[in-house]
Chain A
Amino acid sequence: MSAVAKSTSEILAWVADVFETPPEKIRPEMKRDEIDAWDSLGILTLIARMDEDFQVLLTEDEIQGLRSVGDIIEVLRRHGQAGGAP
């Protein structure tokens, strides 16, 4: 687990890096189908990066529940990796 929970803006930058998308284009309300790289391979990349960067091992239910950038932030918050600050 990371020593310090990331801010929302840091998580958004991380999401942008995972999906190889310009950071300015990533917003919490964005749905999965609005991000081109969030396809079947993108899901695998997201799961792997969650594990490597945050030591968060998502359950099958958590994986199925990821439908927006906000969902990613929320699941990281539940695992103590996102602090909720801007």
Chain B
Amino acid sequence: MARREALRKAMRFLFVDRILDMIPGKSIEAEHVFDGGEDFFRDHFPGFPVVPGVLLTEMMGQAAAMCLDAESRGTGRGKAMLAQIRSASFREWVKPGETTAIKAGIRSSRPELATAACSAEVGGRRVCSAELLFSFLPLGHFASGYRDEVLEAYLSSPGREKG
């Protein structure tokens, strides 16, 4: 990836590149690559760049939230917001350039909350897992015209589940 593109990406807080498969409100499979251009690798750690666990957790949370947001479309429930990390485990280092496969299964989804069991793998090896709890924030709190570009791209792609 070009340096300019890497810098553009480094300024984002978006850790899902694309959704591979999804059943809204039930499950999602997605992927993300930390390409190495992100600033945090300078400090985490010099000579041994690995993705911080908090960002792996955020990555899983973003994927699960997309699955919930897809379910919420048109219901007025609002956007899923990570409210609690109920548990999290980090088993393997994730290094720059590795494609991380994200999976999330929604355990419960109610008007006021949802819970999800999430995990991520690199090369078929589980690198982390987390149990996450979400609350929902009305869309009126966000900038007008705000849209989840990754979710919209998936939902608008031909032949995908429209939920």
Residues of A within 8 A of B133 (CB): 44-45, 48
Interface residue B115 (Cβ < 8 Å from any Cβ of A): yes
Q: Does A51 contact B (CB under 8 A)?
A: yes
B101-117: CB near A (< 8 Å → 1, else 0) gives 00000011011110100
Q: Would B108 and A45 count as touching, CB distance under 8 A?
A: no
Q: How far is the CA of A39 from the CA of B108 in the complex (A)?
A: 21
Which residue of chain B lies nearest to A40 when distances are taken between CB atoms in the complex? B135
Separation in Å of the A43 CB from the closest CB of chain B?
8
Check A44–B112 contact: CB distance below 8 A: yes
| Bound complex: CA A35 to CA B105 (Å) | 32
Check: B84 CB closer than 8 A to any chain A CB: yes
Cα A29 to Cα B5 with chains together (Å):
59
B76 to chain A, nearest CB (A): 15
> Interface residues of B, CB < 8 Å — how many?
11
Closest chain B residue, CB of each to CB of A58: B110
Q: Mark A27-41, 1 if CB is under 8 A from B, else 0.
A: 000000000000001
Cβ–Cβ contact B110 & A57, under 8 A = yes
Contact A52/B108 with A44-B113, A45-B133, A47-B113 known, Cβ cut-off 8 Å:
yes
Chain B neighbourhood of A51, CB < 8 A: 108, 110
Residue numbers in B under 8 Å from A41 (CB-CB): 83-84, 135
Are B108 and A44 within 8 A (Cβ)? no
Beyond A41-B83, A44-B84, A45-B84, whether A52 also contacts B107 by CB under 8 A is: yes
Give Cα A57 to B113, complex, Å. 12
Across the A-B interface, the 8 shortest Cβ-Cβ residue pairs: A44-B113, A51-B108, A48-B115, A44-B135, A48-B133, A41-B83, A47-B113, A48-B113
What would 15 A/B residue contacts be, using CB atoms closer than 8 Å? A41-B84, A41-B135, A44-B84, A44-B135, A45-B84, A45-B133, A47-B110, A47-B112, A47-B113, A48-B108, A48-B113, A48-B115, A52-B115, A60-B111, A63-B112
Residues of chain A having any CB pair with chain B under 8 Å: 41, 44-45, 47-48, 51-52, 57, 60, 63
